């Protein structure tokens, strides 16, 4: 692919990489004898290692010299798109001095990790336009056989790590269709994976990303594939089949039609115990569960499975009968803590709502008490919300969890008065307020809290670092069945608001100060009605197809709405499917942003934070704002924090690195105090996990500056690699 590497002056190492000295031989010998001692010096796995630590023992870059950090090289891709805005969320891996990463169009690249020079490129689209979200890739080797596994579209690809060519003996000509092997026919649905799988022996264990709306969606079962052949080796049904544990927590036929309950945020692995750990998402439909009455295992669960067979060892559910899209958004961290005078191996799971669950790794039992508290009951017809939800007593929430008049913004008097006036018309309170006919507040918003970046863990201090957002949204519910004799335009707005706006927004004008999801109402500027119809029928990237979910009339209505047509045309009731899947009776009006007249969040600051939590005690060591809005910065406001997507990297050099925030900067904090020591202005938002590694004795920090994404700042096309002069 066409690309540009911007080099920066670097010192030539005194000892060439290939030169073998007595010291290097001794180092290699000790490394082979005690590989665990060096397990945190490279970045061969998504998140750094199989435990999800996002920790590095490298300390060449440290508190004393981080202010000297400069770009060593910048690599720019050639497939960024402005409309729709593309993104790069990939956490690169580095193996033997080669960095493997993906582009905005989901091409796979191999770069020299020290210089940024391209080795090869693999294009899964064969020259056609591609896109979507990818957060990383998986490496496996056996002697000379070295493979990179990653997903683009509905396909899992096996690519030769040395040549960039598909491995012919894997699946069908180097790839497998993820829609196959789910023990249910989902060929016309979307099954992909945004986060990479994890390797155990000769198994590649995979989660998935599937539909979340009222249209029919695929189930999110966990699967393991043979790394050589691609053959399925085991499957764990996250929506249990008859005779399986948890089947009784669903209606009898739910396994035939309900979707979701997928692990989309990644997995971690305890190699010694042979256990794989996964967090699962909510069932479909996200906001009405009248067709899935019950507790709904294994949705919203931390799962411990035997890695070789997929057999369940234990589970812990963090949300019962989810009505809020409160997926577990990220891989669990495998940690070791001191409790009661002894060391305990544990699992730390951060969540969208600011709860951190610390669970015994062998039993799943909480190490700090968790209370089942009564929560409000849903008043939506047909719904049976769960009467209680789990609340950890420690640590305290790391994100804001309520918005009442007392919590209204204090940014300025006008914003405060506006927020209080609008809040008076809404249902307010704390967590787990079920959506209903009257608009209700959701804080943290549907995108967290904690998100897919997950948490970083420093094993030397047993401290967990998590970045999170604290911004509000609102939601309301309406009957799925349209009223008789509805206009085409009204029907299109209903369908768009209920189904499409979850990802694309509704009536949100662009705002230079705040995030705004790109509305599909601008699609008419780049596509014809015929092209939109084709997308509805085929899907693309993360967008599922709606060929069977919508009738021809309903597709026509969506297109009419997007193209400002159909205001006077009426729709006969006989031409409607009414509730898409034939089961959903109530729909959400979308995830609606709640902002002040200038476009800033309506709750009190900070709106985004990094929090350091000591896991032995469950106490905060510190919490500081993450990022700032440049417009407020110019007014002299201290950092407010912003909505953030990405994650943290913690190092033995005493640093916490994170991009994530909407100020589009890479930040470095003192890991002991939370003091901001250094930041660098990227060309676009760094909504990705940073990686750090060592080549030729030099430490590098690498992050994607891909912009776009959920925060909807401008898109970017670069990877920035930093090192000391």
pLDDT at 37 over 60: no
When pLDDT is cut at 50, 70 and 90, the band that residue 575 belongs to is: low
% the chain with pLDDT above 90: 76
Whether the CB-CB separation of 409 and 600 falls below 8 Å is answered with yes
Rounded Cα–Cα distance for residues 21 and 216 (Å): 62
What is the pLDDT of the chain when averaged over all its residues?
A: 90
Q: Does residue 256 carry a pLDDT above 80?
A: yes
The separation between CA 475 and the C-alpha centre of its own chain, rounded to angstroms, equals: 21
234 close to 223: Cβ distance less than 8 angstroms = yes
Residues 6+ positions from 685 with CB-CB distance below 8 Å: 645, 659, 661, 662, 664, 705, 706, 707, 708, 709, 711, 713, 716
Q: What is the pLDDT of residues 115-149, one digit of tens each?
A: 999 999 999 999 998 999 999 999 999 999 999 99
CA distance 397 to 371: 14
pLDDT at 432: 97
Tens of pLDDT, residues 658-692: 999 999 999 999 999 999 999 999 999 999 999 99
Give every CB contact of residue 461 below 8 A, 6+ residues apart in sequence: 614, 671
Higher pLDDT, 539 or 603: 603
| Strands 222-226 vs 473-475: parallel, antiparallel or unpaired | unpaired
Q: Which residues pair with 151 in a beta bridge?
A: 156
Q: What is the mean pLDDT of residues 192-204?
A: 98
DSSP, residue by residue, 393-431: SSSPPSS---B-GGGB--S-HHHHHHHHHHHTTSB-BSS
Domains of the chain and CATH, by start: 4-123+134-475+596-723 (2.140.10.10), 481-578 (1.10.760.10)
CA distance 678 to 675: 9
Burial of 90-119, coded b for 16+ CB within 10 Å and e otherwise, reads: bbbbbbeebbbbbbbbbbbbbbbbbbbebe
The vertex-240 CA angle with 301 and 170, nearest 5°, equals 90
Place of tokens 């206009």: 487
- Considering only the C-alpha atoms of the chain, give the largest distance between any 2 of them, rounded to a whole number of Å: 85
- 333, 464 contact by CB (below 8 A): yes
Residue 246 has pLDDT above 90, yes or no: yes
pLDDT-derived band of residue 496, with 50, 70 and 90 as boundaries?
Answer: confident
Q: Residue 5: pLDDT above 70?
A: no
Q: How confident is the model at residue 547 (pLDDT cuts 50, 70, 90)?
A: low
Tell me, what's the pLDDT at 508? 42
User: What band does 480 get if pLDDT is binned at 50, 70 and 90?
Assistant: confident
Q: Is residue 533's pLDDT more than 90?
A: no
**Assessment of whether the complete model's pTM goes beyond 0.85:** yes
The stretch 528-537 carries a mean pLDDT of 81
Which pLDDT belongs to residue 1?
Answer: 56
> Which pLDDT value is given to residue 548?
63
Count CB atoms within 10 A of the CB of residue 618: 18
Strands 155-160, 108-112: pairing kind:
unpaired
Helix, strand, coil distribution of the chain in percent, nearest 5: 15, 30, 55
Please check the confidence at residue 29 and state whether its pLDDT lies above 60: no
- Selection from 88, 110, 74, 115 nearest residue 720 by Cα: 74
**pLDDT tens, residue by residue, 434-477:** 999 999 999 999 999 999 999 999 999 999 999 999 999 999 99
């Amino acid at each position: 692919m066409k690309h540009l590497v911007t080099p920066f002056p670097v010192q030539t190492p005194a000892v060439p990489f290939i030169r073998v000295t007595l010291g290097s031989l001794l180092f290699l010998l000790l490394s082979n004898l005690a590989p665990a001692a060096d397990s945190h010096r490279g970045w061969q796995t998504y998140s750094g290692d199989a435990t999800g630590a996002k920790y590095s023992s490298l300390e060449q870059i440290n508190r004393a010299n981080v202010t000297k950090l400069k770009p060593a090289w910048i690599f720019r891709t050639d497939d960024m798109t402005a409309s729709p805005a593309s993104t790069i969320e990939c956490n690169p891996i580095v193996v033997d001095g080669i960095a493997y990463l993906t582009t905005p169009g989901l091409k796979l690249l191999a770069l020299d990790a020290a210089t940024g020079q391209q080795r090869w490129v693999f294009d899964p689209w064969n020259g056609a336009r591609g896109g979507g979200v990818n957060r990383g890739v998986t490496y496996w080797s056996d002697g000379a056989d070295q493979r990179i596994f990653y997903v683009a579209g509905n396909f899992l690809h096996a690519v030769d790590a040395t040549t960039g060519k598909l491995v012919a003996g894997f699946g069908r000509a180097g790839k497998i269709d993820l829609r196959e092997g789910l023990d249910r026919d989902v060929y016309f649905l979307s099954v992909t994976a945004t986060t990479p799988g994890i390797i155990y022996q000769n198994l590649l264990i995979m989660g998935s990303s599937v539909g979340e709306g009222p249209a029919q969606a695929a189930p999110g079962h966990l699967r393991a594939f043979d790394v050589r052949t691609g053959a399925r080796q085991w499957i764990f049904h996250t929506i249990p089949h008859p005779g399986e544990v948890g089947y009784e927590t669903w209606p009898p036929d739910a396994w035939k039609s309900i979707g979701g309950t997928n692990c989309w945020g990644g997995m971690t692995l305890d190699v010694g115990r042979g256990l794989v750990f996964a967090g699962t998402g909510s069932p479909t439909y996200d906001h009405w569960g009248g067709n899935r009455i019950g507790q709904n295992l294994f949705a919203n669960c931390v799962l411990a499975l035997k890695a070789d067979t997929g057999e369940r060892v234990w589970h812990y559910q963090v949300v019962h009968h989810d009505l809020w899209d409160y997926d577990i958004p990220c891989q669990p961290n495998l940690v070791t803590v001191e409790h009661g005078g002894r060391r305990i191996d544990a699992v730390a799971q951060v969540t969208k709502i600011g709860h951190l669950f610390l669970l015994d790794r062998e039993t799943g039992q909480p190490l700090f008490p968790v209370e089942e508290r009564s929560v409000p009951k849903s008043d939506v017809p047909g719904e049976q919300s769960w009467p209680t939800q789990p609340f950890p007593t420690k640590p305290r929430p790391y994100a804001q969890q309520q918005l009442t008049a007392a919590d209204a913004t204090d940014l300025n008097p006008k914003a405060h008065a506006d927020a209080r006036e609008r809040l008076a018309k809404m249902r307010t309170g704390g967590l787990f307020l079920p959506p209903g006919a009257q608009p209700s507040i959701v804080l943290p918003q549907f995108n967290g809290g904690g998100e897919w970046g997950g948490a970083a863990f420093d094993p030397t201090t047993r401290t967990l670092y998590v970045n999170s957002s604290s911004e509000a949204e609102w939601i309301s519910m309406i009957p799925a069945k349209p009223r008789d004799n509805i206009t085409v335009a009204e029907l299109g707005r209903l369908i768009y608001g209920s189904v499409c706006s979850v990802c694309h927004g509704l009536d949100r004008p662009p705002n230079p100060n705040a995030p705004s999801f790109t509305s599909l109402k601008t699609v008419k500027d780049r596509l014809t009605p015929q092209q939109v119809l084709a997308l509805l029928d085929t899907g693309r990237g993360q967008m599922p197809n709606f060929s069977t979910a919508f009738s021809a009339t309903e597709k026509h209505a969506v297109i009419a709405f997007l193209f400002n047509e159909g205001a006077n045309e009426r729709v006969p009731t006989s031409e409607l499917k009414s509730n898409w899947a034939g089961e959903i009776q109530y729909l959400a009006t979308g995830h609606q942003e709640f902002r002040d007249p200038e476009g800033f969040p309506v709750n009190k600051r900070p709106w985004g934070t990094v929090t350091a939590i000591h896991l032995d005690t469950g106490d905060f060591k510190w919490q500081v704002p993450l990022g700032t809005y440049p417009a407020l910065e110019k007014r002299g406001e201290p950092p407010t924090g912003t909505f953030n997507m990405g994650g943290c990297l913690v190092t033995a050099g005493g640093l916490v690195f994170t991009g994530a925030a909407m100020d589009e900067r890479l930040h470095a904090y003192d890991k002991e105090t939370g003091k901001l020591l250094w930041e660098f202005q990227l060309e676009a938002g760094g909504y990705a996990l940073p990686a750090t590694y060592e080549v030729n004795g030099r430490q590098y920090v690498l992050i994607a500056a891909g912009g776009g994404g959920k925060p909807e700042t401008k898109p970017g096309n670069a990877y920035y690699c930093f090192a000391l002069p």
